[in-house]
Structure 1
């Protein structure tokens, strides 16, 4: 089975690519939503977050997001501590999920993550697809989607790894600029993966 990582910056369209893959019958593991699920349900995550932040981090079985966010964004070291608790469990959960899908007969699955390389999730996949869109397009999409200001979106973009760095680390590139058809690019990529041939 082929495990395909899907990454890209804010507003690049990686979630839309995941949608297209699902429409083709290829299941995709969304690390963002699964991390939220595991933060509530995984006993070790709960234990370690409580040890780090105190009993108030969970209230009535609900994560205290303001408390977590205040700690998380206070400094880089705090974010690293939180990530060290959550990311390994997401990684293990994906590995178990992918193994289950393979036993069920899947020939390919995907993993969508904005922080695929930063989190180390790339080690769990065979190939990485980077979804690229020009900066102005990404800003416009994120503003429309999140009802954010341009300044807010730019701050979030600066907090992520650069497109150049992630493109260099990735195996495949999909250009989602609203001009080149995305579906035909994706179809070519999937055919190449299935046939194990390089994409020109």
Structure 2
């Protein structure tokens, strides 16, 4: 069984790449969605978060991730506290899915795969890289997010060079897939990388 971690900054197209793989009958997991499920379903996580962030619940008494996101992206200490709560749960999820997977191939997508040091859990890493202006245009046109919020998120995410240095220092197998053109070109690049892994 081979495992793949797909990462990249906001608006890079990493979720599209994950969906592309799922259509190839590859087992895939979106770690952002997994995190949201943990916020919603794990009562211990809720308690830990509300001890630090008491004002982040919605009318339905659920963790409001939009409010939580705005709080932590403006406060490094709060962001670190949140990571200490949620990241170990996601790491456990990844390991559990890898251990139970019966397929030839499994893929996970998440913006913080390298930042969280989860890259060590995968056989291969794909970094989806996109020009920041293209990313911004995509995000502002498709999501309920302001330009200020977009820039706050980008500034809190690892830069491509930082990712490369870390992966190379740890002898990780990785590829950079540029996504600055059209869908057909991206599909071709992903198909090529997928074939390389399957060799």
Q: Which TM-score applies when normalising by structure 2? A: 0.83
Write the distance in 1 (CA, Å) between the matches of 2:37 and 2:46. Answer: 11
The verdict on how the C-alpha distance between 1:18 and 1:69 changes in structure 2, with shifts beyond 3 A counting, is: closer
Q: CA deviation at 1:90?
A: 0.9
Alignment RMSD: 2.5
Q: Which has the larger radius of gyration?
A: 1
178-187 or 58-67: which moved more? Answer: 58-67
CA contact (8 A) 1:49 1:57 kept: no
The verdict on how the C-alpha distance between 1:31 and 1:135 changes in structure 2, with shifts beyond 3 A counting, is: same
The match for 1:189 among 187, 190, 193 is: 193
The verdict on how the C-alpha distance between 1:186 and 1:155 changes in structure 2, with shifts beyond 3 A counting, is: same
CA contact (8 A) 1:10 1:138 kept: yes
Provide the residue aligned with 1:109 in structure 2. 106
The match for 2:129 among 112, 128, 132 is: 132
The match for 1:172 among 171, 175, 184 is: 175
Which structure 2 residues correspond to residues 44-63 of structure 1 after superposition, within 5 A? 44-54=44-54, 61-63=61-63
Provide the residue aligned with 1:5 in structure 2. 5
Provide the residue aligned with 1:22 in structure 2. 22
Provide the residue aligned with 2:34 in structure 1. 34
5+ residue gaps, structure 1: 196-200
How many residues are matched? Answer: 192
Q: Which TM-score applies when normalising by structure 1? A: 0.83
5+ residue gaps, structure 2: 168-172
